[in-house]
Amino acid sequence: MTSSELPCYALINVPKDVEFPSDQQLKEKFEKGDTKTKTDALKKLVLMLYQGEKMSPNLMMYVIRFCLPNEDHALKKVLLLFWEIVPKTTPDGKLLHEMILVCDAYRKDLQHPNEFIRGSTLRFLCKLKEPELLEPLMPAIRACLDHSHSYVRRNAVLAIYTIYSSFDFLISDAPEVIYRYLEGEQDASCKRNAFIMLSQVDQARALEYLSGCIEQVNSFNDTLQLIIVELIYKVCHTSPGERNKFIRCVYNLLQSQSPAVRYDAAGTLVTLSTAPAAVKTAAQTYIDLIVKQSDNNVKLIVLDRLIELREHASNEKVLQELVMDILRVLSSSDYEVRKKILHLVLDLVSSRNVEEMVMFLKKEINKTTNETQEDVGRYRQLLVRTLHSATIKFPDVAQQIFPVLMEFLSDQNDSAATDVLVFVREAIQRLPHLRNVIVVQLLEVFGNIRNVQVFRAALWILGEYSDSSENIAQVFRLIKKSIGDLPIVESEEAALLGPDESAPEAEPAKPTEKKTAPTVTADGTYATQSALLSGPALAKEDKPLLRKALLEGNFFYASTLATVLTKLFYRYSQLNTDHPNKVHQFGGEILFVLSSIIRLGKSNLVKSQITEDDLDRISTTIRLIVDNWPGATDVFLNECRVSLDLMLDAKGDVDRHEDVVKSKKSKKIVQVDDPIHFTQLATRVGDGQTGVNLFELSLSQALGTAPKAAKFDFASSKLGKVIQLSGFSDPVYAEAYVNVHQYDIVLDVLIVNQTDDTLQNVSLELSTVGDLKLVDKPTPLTLAPQDFTNIKATVKVTSTENGIIFSTIAYDVRGSTSDRLCVYLQDIRIDIMDYIVPGSCTDTEFRTMWVEFEWENKVTVNTPVTSLRGYMDHIAETTNMKLLTADAALAGDCGFLAANFCAHSIFGEDALVNISIEKADHADPNSAIIGHIRIRAKSQGMALSIGDKINSAQKEKPKNKSPTAA
């Protein structure tokens, strides 16, 4: 075992500015200092050893002579750390003679009357790996099993366990000794340690003990119950015939008072039995744990296990019966918990319980109106989206949902109201039998809408689906009410002049000075207040909604209104072909409204005048109404609905926030020629087999050592991450394999001595730039001629930013009198793509985040790729970003392309990208691509790093892909 592979049981932070004393200073402190001075000196010596410093051989005797006999508890505790890390053998592997004295001292500590000293010594012996030191101490360790204090007994059990695991010849009868001890022990912690040892080294004795006390399991301490659950799983995993014997015990442990025991027992029950009763019991246990636990992290962990139950098709019917129980979890205030629960319920709900679910969610919506929590707005959106999806899946419940959701339209906050209108738009198109009901309910709340964007969307729906003369007339009355008195310019000028003044011609409003009566100040003097008010400020503030928007210069709503009024006119004309006078009168009123809006847009009463685009659109609708063009009827009344239907097919799942890819993956398709897997013959996990120990798998996942399923050949993928650090002609060759584990980067550096000399004190020196932090310093080592070794170093990552690791190798040549030699290595650049995953958001969320993010990076397109779609796909692949723009919007060939992308980092950062590109020559398919890529992110590092990645990626041609048509 090399020095870099020595075991380590403790991590101590060593300050960078610490100054270590010399050996002579340490000797003086050990020999002449008091207890506190000796303790401080010993701490300095321990820190020196942790830093890889060498210790002189005679310094150990000073520690033995002057520190070991001391009875101070603090000093003894530091001594345990010292003896843990100090080299105990010579270079040829023989035990140092000084360790005999240490062994005798610790034999006395094992017989010390103080239980703390005995227990600490036993814990230290668990870390020793030298059987020569442990053998003389075995009688004293055995004697500690009979000590009166539980702290000593439980550490004695652990010491025997670790010694037997490593050197069973030192205590060959350990299982029998611990079994007899366990039968007579009463302390819960001691019984736990003893049962752990038996379950690991002698399962037969552990099962014998468990069979004898299986009826008393519920009365055991929770720590012992956890070990019993693990043992039952292991036994049933290796011997399926034992399941019936112990599964009742697992059922009993589900009633334990400890949440941890219930969680493990539920997971074990599901893995041991697929019976519907077992699945239902485990699911109910998970639900109860989620409801009762206050920690949101615990809720999310247990919730993930509940969601995993649904992945098996056989469990879905069982979970469908528990939908209402699952909805109890919505009592949690955490948004992420509520979001996962609603997605799970939406997948499980069936026609039998959808009405109950809808009634429950309606109550939740009513609760949110009085809540003042931070995420209440987002939660209301989530409820609306859930009801949206439920209505599309089960149209029969739609009529119950609409009255509740319509109340959201009068809310000032447009987030939930916008989702309601998206829901209404899809429902009114997909459910023709409910159109009249929806239109009537929308008309009832239309007059109470206070947000102009919500007003515009609701107005479009009413204009599209008002199919009767009465509804059309009511919509038009509501429109005129939202505009106010007509004509707009004259009524506004009259309001500015006041009721007592009249002028034949409107004059520009002049500023007026309004005076008040003299007031008395605090010091007794008189003061007069006056305010200079401009004309528009004198206008009333309680103006109608659409009129207020027009006065502020938002004439985009006027162009929408013109389109809606044109639809209403053509539909009214179809319904009243026998009454041309009514049609002409209705058309005249519409023209009066539109002409008033145009005149207002060109006046000085508005903050910003009407744009040419809005003016052209309103003028076009006026000409269509005046000329009554026959072709416009089909465009306005039929083609619009066809376009809406196509858009809902393309974006309906996105608007409902449903993950189409995930839902497709969750459905397992079994082919006709697929092999049949028999559980009894299975040797691997998957498809319901139990070939892998889940306890060991979860432990390996927590440690980051779990094997990952490779999408392609592992050897080639690993070689792709190997970075050559030095040249082949250098005396020391080095290459590094960069392995990324979320927040850690592990560098596995291969070092080869290419000389015929022995290299001493070979050390790898690392330095980082960016948000990277070196966790540990590699230990120096010695390399024989033509020998090689591996050195591992860990680097901590704190943000998504490009980082650079600089490194050098320094060494000494044995027998040489020259200075220390050094080889400078190639820089290691950390790719941020290892921390970025594709993100997802709706168009509304994208626009909101785009406004909120303050860091922007603009990249000019410069690429040899000539295909617009091919370039966009290449950027998406190299940056790990998800394309948000629908494929239908990117179809066709027009020489121009615009698309949005989204990505998240594991550090919780978001990044948005907008690509706007076009052909330099639209007539030439091989012409260059020009345009810009804009990146926005919360942090500067994220925006700059993605920009650098795009700059380097766009100069490369896509690999193994044929160019797509532009």
Residue 514 region, left (φ>0) first, then alpha (ψ -120 to 50), else beta? beta
The 10s digit of each residue's pLDDT in 538-575 is 344 577 888 888 888 888 888 888 888 888 888 888 88
- Highest average pLDDT, of 3-12, 507-516, 649-658, 727-736, comes from 727-736
State the residue for tokens 């290299």: 759
Task: Give me the sign of the Cα torsion angle 809, 812, 816, 818.
Answer: positive
State the residue for tokens 């809408």: 449
At residue 772, the 3 state secondary structure works out as strand
Cβ–Cβ under 8 Å, residues 801 and 832:
yes
Where helices occur in 6-68 by DSSP H, the ranges are 23-32, 35-50, 57-66
At residue 420, the 3 state secondary structure works out as helix
The 10s digit of each residue's pLDDT in 756-796 is 888 888 888 888 876 677 777 787 888 888 888 888 888 88
| Interatomic CA distance for residues 382 and 338, integer angstroms | 9
Predicted confidence at residue 687, as pLDDT, reads 38
Predicted confidence at residue 95, as pLDDT, reads 78
DSSP annotation of 306 reads H
CB atoms within 10 A of CB 652: 20
Across 658-687, average pLDDT? 51
* pLDDT tier for residue 5 given thresholds of 50, 70 and 90: low
More confident call, 516 vs 124? 124
| Interatomic CA distance for residues 462 and 428, integer angstroms | 10
CB atoms within 10 A of CB 479: 20
- Residue 189 CA, chain-centre distance (Å), reads 37
Write out the two tokens for 745.
Answer: 């980067």
The terminus-to-terminus CA distance of the chain in angstroms comes to 61
DSSP annotation of 783 reads E
Across 445-458, average pLDDT? 82
Write out the two tokens for 118.
Answer: 């005995």
**Residue (of 140, 147, 132) closest to 109 by Cα position:** 140
Contacts for 578 with CB less than 8 Å, ≥ 6 apart: none
| Interatomic CA distance for residues 163 and 138, integer angstroms | 9
Residue 524 region, left (φ>0) first, then alpha (ψ -120 to 50), else beta? left
* pLDDT tier for residue 534 given thresholds of 50, 70 and 90: very low
**Residue (of 482, 485, 483, 439) closest to 462 by Cα position:** 439
The 10s digit of each residue's pLDDT in 799-819 is 666 678 888 998 888 766 667
| Interatomic CA distance for residues 902 and 913, integer angstroms | 6
- Residue 610 CA, chain-centre distance (Å), reads 45
Q: What are phi and psi of 642, to 5 degrees?
A: -65, -45
Predicted confidence at residue 505, as pLDDT, reads 45
Predicted confidence at residue 817, as pLDDT, reads 64
* pLDDT tier for residue 660 given thresholds of 50, 70 and 90: very low
Q: How far is CA 824 from CA 733, 734, 765, 809, 821, in A?
A: 11, 10, 10, 7, 10
Across 735-740, average pLDDT? 83
Instruction: Calculate the average pLDDT of the chain.
Output: 78
Where helices occur in 638-693 by DSSP H, the ranges are 640-655, 660-666
Predicted confidence at residue 742, as pLDDT, reads 65
The 10s digit of each residue's pLDDT in 387-428 is 878 877 887 777 777 777 777 777 666 667 777 787 788 888
**Residue (of 160, 204, 206) closest to 183 by Cα position:** 206
State the residue for tokens 């009827």: 633
At residue 128, the 3 state secondary structure works out as coil
* pLDDT tier for residue 701 given thresholds of 50, 70 and 90: low
What angle is formed at CA 939 by the lines to CA 936 and CA 944, rounded to 5 degrees? 65
Strand partners, 858: 934
The 10s digit of each residue's pLDDT in 283-333 is 888 888 888 888 888 888 888 888 888 887 777 888 888 888 888 888 888
Predicted confidence at residue 965, as pLDDT, reads 39
